[in-house]
Each structure stands twice: as structure tokens, then as C-alpha cells.
Amino acid sequence: MAAVLLGVILFAGQAAAAGYIRYILATRDGGTAYVFTTHGRPGLERLLRDLYREAGVPWEVILRYLRPAPRPVPVPRPEPRPEPKPEPQPEPQPEPEPQPEPEPQPKPDPEPNPEQSGMTAKEQEMLKLVNQERAKLGLNPLEPDMELVKLARMKAQDMIDLGYFAHQSPTYGSPFDMMRAAGITYRTAGENLAGAGTVERAHTALMNSDGHRRNILHPAYDHVGIGIIEGGPYGLMCVQMFTGQ
């Protein structure tokens, strides 16, 4: 009987909204009957007695196995998660344009140290101008004498330091005194002094003076010492010392 009754009862559900209990029962012809009753057994007992009276099934047995189905528990719908916003990406910085590499500049040639490499560029320039003038007259070129060059530089520096412009030095005496003190021998000797802003101007001024021009073009001279020091009131202090053997 229990097996038959269990086969008859499909399920029971509850209609809580209206305050009724809903039962779904199988009918004799294989259909389905939906039954709503109030809470409590009195109403359900009368219903079962009326439904199964003709079937010959004791309604007490059906009532024993009949139980309402548990109320469905509402499942909360998951709230949609907001789609993660992509993090802002930094805008690409433009690559710096390559700067052209500076062309290497040639280093200027250092002015030679007079004590180590002979005459300076300005001194060599003046020697060249002197020998060009001598060549015009067919005279032999003057050879540079480094001992005379040293004396000429000393005289030029002394004039700058002491602020004078003369053949007689308060420090060294005459140019001939300086030559003898340095052990330089000669048969004839002379000295030219010039102050100017450039070597060319100094040479032009000397050639425009009769006495100085005679020293430059003296046929008895064969050696010369030229000393040029930057400074003094003229810009360049130039000294020429000549000797002839």
C-alpha cells in the first residue's frame, strides 16, 4: 500500500503568497489535480476523503504519507560585476631626433716653446721678411743665431717690464755689453728696435727708417737674433740683433 501511495503522490508545493498549501495529486484517469487547502489538517482530511472515497483507498493512509514539499529558497542572482576598465596606458613619447655629432675641430698647433724648438712663428715671419729684402739686392740671407735670439728676447721683455724704449738697458747696458757678457764674438754688430701691433707693421716701419734699413741690408752681417714678446704699449715688442764675423 505504501508503494502504491508513494506512486500516486507526485509532489506537494506551497503557495505562500495567498496563505494556502498547494498539493498536486494524481487522478484515477492518469491526470493531475491541483488542490489548495488552508493550513491545518481539517481541510485536507475532508478533501482526501471526498477524492478517494470511490477508489476504495483509505484516506488516512494517504494523509500519513502526504507531506508538502519544502519551500523553494530563492537563490539571489549574482550582481553583474563591472568589467574592469583598462588602465590608461601612457602615451608613447616621441623618440628624440638624433643630433648630428659635431665635426671634430682640428686643434690649433701650439706655439712652439722658444727654449725648446727655436724661434716662434712671429720671429720666423720677421726673419723671412728680412731675408726677402736682402734677396732683392742679391745679399746673402741672415742665419738665425739662437744665442742672439735669447738676448733679443731678454731685451724686449726688459723694455716691457721697465717701460722704456731705447738701445741702452738699465738692466743689461748696451746691446754690445749683452753680447760680450754672453760670450758672443763679432767683427761688427748692430741692433734694431720696433714696437707695433703686427710683425708686418713693425717690418714696414723699420724699412722706412734709413738707419734701421741699413742694418737689415748691411752686407757685412751674416747672423741675426730676433726676439718678439707680446706686451707693452704697442702690442708687440720687437728686437733685432745683428753680427758679422
Note the pLDDT tens digit of each residue in 135-167. Answer: 999 999 999 999 999 999 999 999 999 999 999
Q: What is Dmax (Cα atoms) for the chain?
A: 175
pLDDT at position 69:
47
56 and 153 in a single domain? The answer is no
**Residue 95 lies inside a defined structural domain of this protein:** no
- Whether the pLDDT of residue 31 is over 60: the answer is yes
pTM score, whole prediction: 0.54
CB atoms within 10 A of CB 189: 20
202 and 140 in a single domain? The answer is yes
pLDDT at position 59:
60
**Residue 109 lies inside a defined structural domain of this protein:** no
Q: Give 93's DSSP letter.
A: P
Render pLDDT for 170-220 as a digit per residue (tens, 0 to 9).
999 999 999 999 999 999 999 999 999 999 999 999 999 999 999 999 999
pLDDT at position 81:
72
45 and 153 in a single domain? The answer is no
Q: What's the rounded Cα separation, in Å, for the pair 169 and 84?
A: 97
- Whether the pLDDT of residue 11 is over 50: the answer is no
**Residue 130 lies inside a defined structural domain of this protein:** yes
**Residue 101 lies inside a defined structural domain of this protein:** no
Number of domains in the chain: 2
Q: Which amino acid is at 56?
A: G
Degrees to nearest 5, angle at CA 136 with 131 and 137: 100
Q: What's the rounded Cα separation, in Å, for the pair 220 and 189?
A: 9
124 and 240 in a single domain? The answer is yes
* Sheet strand arrangement including 143-144: 143-144, 223-231, 235-244, 188-196
**Residue 107 lies inside a defined structural domain of this protein:** no
**Residue 96 lies inside a defined structural domain of this protein:** no
Q: What's the rounded Cα separation, in Å, for the pair 171 and 137?
A: 37
- Which residue, 65, 82, 110, sits at the end of a domain? 65
231 and 132 in a single domain? The answer is yes
42 and 132 in a single domain? The answer is no
Q: Work out the pLDDT band at 77, boundaries 50, 70, 90.
A: confident
Q: Which residue matches cell numbers 723671412? A: 128
**Burial class, 51, CB count within 10 angstroms (exposed 0-12 / middle 13-18 / buried 19+):** middle
145 and 219 in a single domain? The answer is yes
Q: Which domain range does residue 220 map to?
A: 118-244
Residue 130 sits at φ, ψ, to 5 deg, of -65, -45
163 and 224 in a single domain? The answer is yes
53 and 130 in a single domain? The answer is no
51 and 135 in a single domain? The answer is no
59 and 125 in a single domain? The answer is no
* Helix (H/G/I), strand (E/B), else coil: 35: strand
CATH of residue 224 = 3.40.33.10
What is the mean pLDDT of the segment spanning 35-58?
63
156 and 232 in a single domain? The answer is yes
Q: What's the rounded Cα separation, in Å, for the pair 206 and 227?
A: 15
**Residue 79 lies inside a defined structural domain of this protein:** no
**Residue 106 lies inside a defined structural domain of this protein:** no
- Which residue, 28, 44, 65, sits at the end of a domain? 65
State the sign of the Cα–Cα–Cα–Cα dihedral 220, 178, 120, 160: negative
Q: What's the rounded Cα separation, in Å, for the pair 89 and 79?
A: 29
